[in-house]
Amino acid sequence: MRQTEFFLKGCDPKSLTVEQLMQDAVTRCTSRTDALTIAHLMTHRNFGSLPVVEEDGTLVGIVTEYDLLQAMIDGRDLRKILATEIMSAHPVTVTEDQTLAQVADLFQDRYITRVPVVRNRKLVGVLARRDLLFGYMRAAQYWS
Amino acid sequence: MPARKRVRGDRPKDFPSMTVKQVMEKRVQSVHLRTKGDVIASLMIEGFGAVPVVDKHRKLTGIVSEHDLLAAIDDGGSLGALTAGEIMTGNPYSVRPETNLGTLVHVLRASDLVRVPVVDTKDRLVGIIARRDVLRTYLSTGSTNRK
């Protein structure tokens, strides 16, 4: 859930933090999850990338739809590919205390759509560009 | 508005040689140059990350993405006071219905695109295709009986 969904009154949108905007309880996979399973997760749950974590929750990478599409076009069998082979290691991350203004700049500069949120290198949430837009609209509703 | 049937007829076995026409969404939501920014933002929160902008002859003139909306917000603008024409990216990438999926994936990756408008020979909007549509098609065309 996103905290912004429960806002009852407006506030200055630029003061919103990542903690308020992000989705917690994120779907994730391990480095040994196969690509076909990842493809099913993405299409069923409707998101374009999936964080890859170790058993203790440490973030190790991210698999995007681009990575899957490339493997498909190359004619590889998705069942035989592991997340670790196609993921991008060391992805861009944000922390919960960053503000909307700070992360908006990051999204704009790097053309990112979804970014993992980490606390001590462990995954605690995911922030999508859509969450920024949603939080902004929600906060700005009664604020002027 | 475009037809509502989805083309799912004969499926070639060779996935990369399938065409955009077989996979694209024909019921594409578009906006006009004068549509307000806040209307577009609520459309996006409901569903998708980019909306094509068309003129009165349905000719593709631009696209408004989440990126464009965030840029407008960043500039301190009020979305309700801005129009699609002011915030859109003009002359956007587009593909033809006969483009094959191999080429499409290349274009998507190379240009960091998530959704691309599909136009006919007269540049009129006939559909839209997203990364996710390609992924879904691959899964539904039975990737399990591949080598």
Structure token pair of residue B91: 């002359």
Structure token pair of residue A53: 């974590």
Give residue for tokens 């691959």: B138
Q: Tens digits of per-residue pLDDT, B53-77?
A: 999 999 999 999 988 988 888 787 7
Strand order through the sheet with A49-53: A49-53, A59-64, A88-89
Q: Tens digits of per-residue pLDDT, A7-45?
A: 777 778 778 899 999 988 889 999 999 999 999 999 888
Q: In angstroms, what CA-CA distances link A91 with A28, A42, A62, B59, B108?
A: 14, 18, 7, 39, 20
DSSP state of A47: -
Q: How far is B126 from chain A (nearest CA, A)?
A: 24
Q: What is the pLDDT of residue B80?
A: 85
* Residue B88 C-beta-side C-alpha neighbours within 13 Å: 26
Shortest CA distance from B145: residue in chain A: A77
Alpha-helical regions (H) of chain B: 20-23, 37-46, 66-74, 84-87, 101-111, 131-140
At residue A82 the predicted structure's pLDDT band, cuts being 50, 70 and 90, is: very high
Name the A residues in 95-134 with CB < 8 Å from any B CB: 101, 104-105, 107-108, 111, 113, 129-130, 132-134
Structure token pair of residue B113: 């695109």
B42 contacts A46? CB cut-off 8 A: no
Q: Tens digits of per-residue pLDDT, A122-131?
A: 999 999 988 9
A113 contacts B49? CB cut-off 8 A: yes
Structure token pair of residue B33: 């140059």
